[in-house]
Structure formats: C-alpha cells, structure tokens
A = this chain, B = another copy of it.
Amino acid sequence: MDAMNPMFEAPRPPTRGRVACGACALNPMCHSRSAPPAPSPVETRRRLASGEALFNAGSPSHSIFAPRSGFLKARVAHPGGGTHIACFLLPGDVAGLDGFATGIHRSDAVALGDCEVCEIPSYRVEILSDTSPRLSAHFRSLLAEELARSQQHAAAIACLSVERRIVLFLLELGKRWFERGYSASAFQLPMSRRDIGEHLGLTAATLSRELSAFQARGWVAMQRRAVEIRDAHALHALLAER
C-alpha cells in the first residue's frame, strides 16, 4: 500500500474548535436582557484539563454547560460493567440537559483534551424561561431536539451493521463541523478509537479494521486522527441502499 507517502494534506482546523458565541445553542438565553439578576446568565467559565470530568453521573445537577473551546464526551456507565458514549459535545452544543429533570446527572461529561465551558446555573434557566416565552420555547426545543437525536442514535446501534454505523458517524460528524463553518470533509477527530467504539457499540479493533477497509476502497483517507472524506457519494449510497 501507499501508506507511507503523504497522501493528503492533513486538514488544519478544526483541531481545537472555538465557536463564536453567536453560534452557541444557548446564545438566545445568553443575551437576553430580560434576565433580572445579571446581564449574562453565565455564572462561570470553567477550564478543564484533558480527561477531567465536568460532572459525574449521580452527582447533583445545578447547571447546564456550553463548551466554548475543546470537546467533551457524555459517558453513560452501565451497572455490571460496560460504558457507552451517548454523544460527543462540540463547541456550540449543550451539556448536562439529561440531569435537568431530577437534579441528578445521569451521565459523566469528560473533557477530550483541554477545554473551556460556560456554566449556566439551572435556576437562571428557570428564571429566563419564566420571564420569556421565547426562551422557554427555545429551551424546550433544545431538549426535544436532543431527545430525537438520542432516539435516532439508539435506532442506529440497534439496526445498522457496524460498517454503516461508522459511515453514519463520519458523515454526521462532518455535517456538524459544516454547520459550524468548517469543512464537512476534512477534520480532526477529537476522540480516540476506543471512544468512537464505545459510542457506536463496537470495539476499537473492529473499528480500526473497518477504517482500513474504507481507506483501501478510497472512500476516506486517514492518518492518526485526521480524516478526509474522499467519496462522500459512495458513503451516502452505502447508507441508503437496502
């Protein structure tokens, strides 16, 4: 194989993504002037080192969070061993919504590499929601959207082959970068193979084999965590065919 020649320009950005506040899902709440107690509902900015947890499952949930730079994974552990990554959080996403019902987090949020997050206390969310129907609706939308995504993800794990799950993952991650103004076809993976495996319900070994096969077919080019999607059409076709 031509594995050793420099087969493509490793995409530069986004390695450590950073979105403008305008692209943040919580932006509407952030700039609301209807918040009585403070000009911005953001109470704190927190910095996390790689591997550090923003919160842990079982701990009380006081806040929701918006990553500003860097990436997180939302990890759900199952009693009896085995852990699942519910989702990866990019700048502009919201973390901690699942604890909103009971006041107890149901998952861990762990930093993939150093990152910085805005913290918005739950009581501020409540206040904002109560003072502005618009924000209230916005927040309901966030929750409902996350719910729909989670159901789609469960469905994907339950009824797609390993190969298709991986294709879906790559295409959707590309789409998320695209929505943030970056390339949908060339980006860096912020997470390890093992993390991806735990997200998709497969092992790192199987994932690695499949990725090698994709490269052999010319569908993608990868070196280490840099990805370039070379034949998006083929990938989409594979997903759609029955």
Contact = CB atoms under 8 A, between A and B. Distances in A.
Interface residues of A, number: 53
Contacts of A97: 144, 147
Interface string A96-123: 0111111000110000000000000000
Contact of A106 (B100, B126, B151, B241): B151
Given A150-B154, A151-B76, A154-B150, A159 B126 contact: no
B158 A84 contact: yes
A241 B140 CA distance: 38
Contacts of A152: 76, 106
Interface string A154-177: 111111100010000000000000
Contacts of A140: 100-101, 129, 139-140, 143
Interface in A64-116: 74, 76, 78-84, 86, 97-102, 106-107
Interface stretch (A12-20, A39-47, A130-138, A213-221): A130-138
B101 A159 contact: no
Nearest to A241: B80
Interface string A188-199: 000000000010
A154 B86 contact: yes
Q: Is the interface of A mostly helix, strand, loop or mixed?
A: helix
A242 B80 CA distance: 4
Given A107-B151, A152-B76, A239-B80, A201 B159 contact: yes
Contacts of A137: 126, 129
12 contacts: A76-B155, A98-B151, A99-B148, A102-B145, A106-B151, A126-B137, A139-B140, A147-B150, A150-B150, A150-B154, A157-B157, A159-B201
Interface of A: 74, 76, 78-84, 86, 97-102, 106-107, 126, 129-130, 133, 136-137, 139-148, 150-160, 164, 198, 200-201, 239-242
* Smallest CB-CB A-B distances: 5 pairs: A82-B159, A158-B201, A101-B144, A84-B155, A154-B154
